[in-house]
Amino acid sequence: MSLKLQTLCPDIDPAVLAALHALGIRTAHGLLTADSSLSIYHALPPSLGLSLDDIEDLIASVALKISDSSISGSVAPVAQCLKPLSTGVDDLDALLSGLLAGDVLELVGPRAVGKTVRSSVVLTARSH
């Protein structure tokens, strides 16, 4: 589940929201993974009166809101986006409290001990 922009940023101008929708950007994920702020800026109609700084501020605001673990209330779906993912190893989950969106975990160890297999299991679980 990805959080809709209008839910995360209820004060966003409806015309800006409609223009972003026309570009296929409807969610926080869509905005944060778009090509670049410059490409969004050039694709939006000039009649909106947005500057490149405005676009970059919106992206930064969405990134900040989506990463804020204290978010609650009207944007409660963020908690679902940040639900910890099991590594498939109970002891490791206990140490890490699971994996959260944005976490980076580096698996190191000797050759042929299962690092690639473990990574594949976690990624497969995440995709389902």
Q: Pick 43 or 119 by higher pLDDT.
A: 43
Q: Which two tokens stand for residue 25?
A: 């950007």
pLDDT digits (tens, 9 = 90+) for 56-113: 989 888 887 877 645 444 444 444 445 677 777 788 778 877 776 666 777 788 888 8
Q: Which pLDDT belongs to residue 79?
A: 44
* DSSP of 26-54: -BHHHHHTSS-HHHHHHHS-GGG---HHH
Q: Which pLDDT belongs to residue 22?
A: 94
Q: Which pLDDT belongs to residue 3?
A: 75
Q: pTM of the prediction? A: 0.53
Q: From residue 59, how far is each of 25, 39, 51, 65, 105 by CA, in Å?
A: 12, 13, 13, 10, 25
Q: Which two tokens stand for residue 48?
A: 């909106």
Q: Which two tokens stand for residue 90?
A: 């109970």
pLDDT digits (tens, 9 = 90+) for 2-38: 578 888 888 889 999 999 999 999 888 888 888 888 9
